[in-house]
Amino acid sequence: MFVNLDAPNGELRVEVLGPDGGVVGPLSIENCVPLSGDSTCAPVRWRGAQDLSELSGRAVRFRFSLKNGSLYSFWVTSDSDGKSHGYVASGGPEFDGPTDA
């Protein structure tokens, strides 16, 4: 999971909830490594969890806890560098085509 975050003096944490509203395994707010700073592609990490691959194909919800900052977007990808493989609208200087590859 990656986020576009502007919180140089703040903190973001995320937890993953199952269909019943309960926290999924170790993916809790308490286990989330706090994020701060200003980044368009910051990885979200949890203590006790390698990644979110165990959730593939399952319905989940994300709960965000943000103090003193702005969260612009989030995405889940199998790419360790945060590439979404999604469309980038009108492109940009770092893109060779219409998708983030």
- The secondary structure element, H or E, covering residue 6 is strand 2-17
26: confidence class by pLDDT, cuts 50, 70, 90: very high
pLDDT bucket at 89, cuts 50 / 70 / 90: low
Instruction: List residues bridging with 2 in a β-sheet.
Output: 43, 75
More reliable by pLDDT, 44 or 94: 44
CB 33 within 8 A of CB 14: no
The string over 5-32, giving b where at least 16 C-beta atoms fall within 10 Å of a residue's C-beta and e elsewhere, is bebeebbbbbbbbeeeeeebeebbeebb
